[in-house]
Amino acid sequence: RMIYQNRPGFGSFNSGGKIPLGLQRKGLRIVVTGGAGFVGSHLVDRLIARGDSVIVVDNFFTGRKENVMHHFGNPRFELIRHDVVEPLLLEVDQIYHLACPASPVHYKHNPVKTIKTNVVGTLNMLGLAKRVGARFLLTSTSEVYGDPLEHPQKETYWGNVNPIGVRSCYDEGKRTAETLTMDYHRGAGVEVRIARIFNTYGPRMCIDDGRVVSNFVAQALRKEPLTVYGDGKQTRSFQFVSDLVEGLMRLMEGEHVGPFNLGNPGEFTMLELAKVVQETIDPNAQIEFRPNTEDDPHKRKPDISRAKELLGWEPKVALTKGLPMMVQDFRQRIFGDHKENTS
Ligand code: NAD
Ligand code: UDP
Ligand code: UDP
């Protein structure tokens, strides 16, 4: 924590422009675990643009060098291939801890590895934060609410989670990661922040990670039917990635531990989402119903009053605005087609 206190102007990010530009703090050293992934790479872009030095720690399980390649050669950027389940020695001011497979297909692929990443990986990064006095931010998830019995979900809700199900490696893993985070905070005085992220989409998502937005967009582009699981009446709320990154940075720079829900409160059934995808990409795209997966939450929608009040944050990008930006990226990656497409 000394490192923090010795840096004049820390916190200026949130100061609403009161501190003159020249006096704003410069050049924090920041670790982003999982920084080669979807959310992490967008966060890295913002931190580099702000003037910070960024070390990405990633084992490339679901992340890709392509997501951060544009920073290669920048002396303020470093990429380390490392698995957070192993200890790591670094000297930094802030740790954004994102490393963890996030889509059901990936986190169920090797459930023991997923829970080790959540528990041992988070423990190691908290140990690192404690040793060097860094501020630590955990990217937890709306899945900690399980199949919620309260709707919309507030941060005070304790959740309805199956401890022995096929999703438990992820949702119970994240719950334990939150516990560890609070125990290091209370027990060792580590400065911590907890974000509970709701479904997020945008450019650089893995094309075949099985999540609903990436599936529908890739399917519509490839002229395949959109696969709706179950009756398609289950709901989710979809947040564009730039809104999330803004929320994560405000949380890190602010004074509140959280947890904070970060998500877009706009709620859609999967059938409604399919319709938006049809309207954006191909009105003739077919819909095909498939059996739903086990323990699939019926509905999910964040109550974001706490983030609005204490972080001054709320999402700005509506689904109908964000989706075309993702479609353009997917089109290029699927077809190698560089034509502008915002239709
Ligand atoms: P992602 O899979 O694109 O990124 C995760 C990154 O972590 C990848 O680069 C992966 O290679 C890396 N990683 C995984 N295990 C690792 C390990 N053991 N050691 C080092 N690196 C490892 O997923 P994302 O969507 O960018 O998610 C980022 C974080 O946000 C995750 O912690 C996820 O749980 C959380 N989150 C995301 C969403 C969402 O909708 N995208 C929702 C809730 C929570
Ligand atoms: N750790 C790490 N980097 C550090 C400091 C600690 O990876 O710079 C790991 C360490 O190996 C341990 C975990 O973080 O497994 C927890 O560390 P802590 O010091 O809290 O606990 P202890 O080592 O006393 O069990
Ligand atoms: N889903 C769907 N078709 C797909 C992929 C997912 O209908 O091709 C549904 C899935 O059953 C769930 C919702 O979309 O109800 C969101 O699934 P996703 O895996 O994207 O995220 P999560 O379940 O983690 O919220």
Ligand 3 centroid–CA 173 distance in Å is 20
Out of 82-86, 229-233, 257-261, 289-293, pick the least confident: 289-293
Q: What is the pLDDT of residue 24?
A: 53
Q: What is the pLDDT of residue 295?
A: 76
Ligand 3 centroid–CA 310 distance in Å is 31
* Average pLDDT of the residues in 327-341: 79
Q: Does 34 score more than 70 pLDDT?
A: yes
Residue with the smallest CA separation from ligand 1 atom 15 is 100
Q: Does 107 score more than 50 pLDDT?
A: yes
Better-predicted residue by pLDDT, 8 or 290: 290
SS (HEC) of 190-259: CCEEEEEECCEECCCCCCCCCCHHHHHHHHHHCCCCEEEECCCCCEEECEEHHHHHHHHHHHHHCCCCCC
Closest ligand 2 atom to residue 86 Cα is 7
Q: What is the pLDDT of residue 297?
A: 83
Better-predicted residue by pLDDT, 293 or 111: 111
Question: Which helix (H) or strand (E) is 38 found in, with range?
Answer: helix 38-50
Cβ of 203 below 6 Å from ligand 1: no
**Nearest one of 88, 77, 86 to 54, comparing CA atoms:** 77
Spatial distance between the Cα atoms of 100 and 173, rounded to a whole number of angstroms: 10
- Mean pLDDT of all residues belonging to the chain: 91
Q: What distances in angstroms separate CA 219 from CA 36, 50, 205, 286, one per listed residue?
A: 25, 36, 14, 10
Q: Does 3 score more than 50 pLDDT?
A: no
Question: Which helix (H) or strand (E) is 48 found in, with range?
Answer: helix 38-50
- Helix (H) and strand (E) counts in the chain: 11, 13
Q: What is the pLDDT of residue 278?
A: 96
> Among 109, 211, 289, 298, which residue has the most ligand 3 atoms within 8 Å of its CB, making it the best to mutate?
211
Spatial distance between the Cα atoms of 70 and 64, rounded to a whole number of angstroms: 12
Active-site residue identified among 96, 107, 170, 184: 170
Out of 20-24, 261-265, 301-305, 309-313, pick the least confident: 20-24
Q: Which ligand is nearest to the CA of 274?
A: 3
Spatial distance between the Cα atoms of 131 and 146, rounded to a whole number of angstroms: 33
Residue with the smallest CA separation from ligand 2 atom 18 is 127
> Among 29, 31, 86, 128, which residue has the most ligand 2 atoms within 8 Å of its CB, making it the best to mutate?
128
Residue with the smallest CA separation from ligand 2 atom 11 is 87
Q: What is the pLDDT of residue 15?
A: 40
Chain position carrying tokens 């930094």: 92
Ligand 1 centroid–CA 121 distance in Å is 12
What pLDDT, in 10s, does the model give residues 160-178? 999 999 999 999 999 999 9
* Average pLDDT of the residues in 298-327: 95
What pLDDT, in 10s, does the model give residues 212-223? 999 999 999 999
Ligand 2 centroid–CA 72 distance in Å is 30
Q: Give Cβ neighbours of residue 315 (< 8 Å, ≥ 6 apart).
A: 239, 240, 243, 247, 263, 264, 265, 304
Spatial distance between the Cα atoms of 277 and 285, rounded to a whole number of angstroms: 9
Q: Does 17 score more than 90 pLDDT?
A: no
Query: Which tokens is 166 given?
Result: 């096929």
201 classed as catalytic: no
* Average pLDDT of the residues in 201-220: 95
Q: Are 140 and 195 in contact (CB under 8 A)?
A: yes
Q: Which ligand is nearest to the CA of 200?
A: 1
Residue with the smallest CA separation from ligand 2 atom 5 is 128
Q: Does 343 score more than 50 pLDDT?
A: no
Query: Which tokens is 295 given?
Result: 């323990």
Ligand 1 centroid–CA 62 distance in Å is 7
Cβ of 207 below 6 Å from ligand 1: no
What pLDDT, in 10s, does the model give residues 122-165? 999 999 999 999 999 999 999 999 988 998 999 999 999 999 99
32 has which bridge partners? 56, 96
Ligand 2 centroid–CA 124 distance in Å is 5
Establish whether this prediction's ipTM goes over 0.90: yes
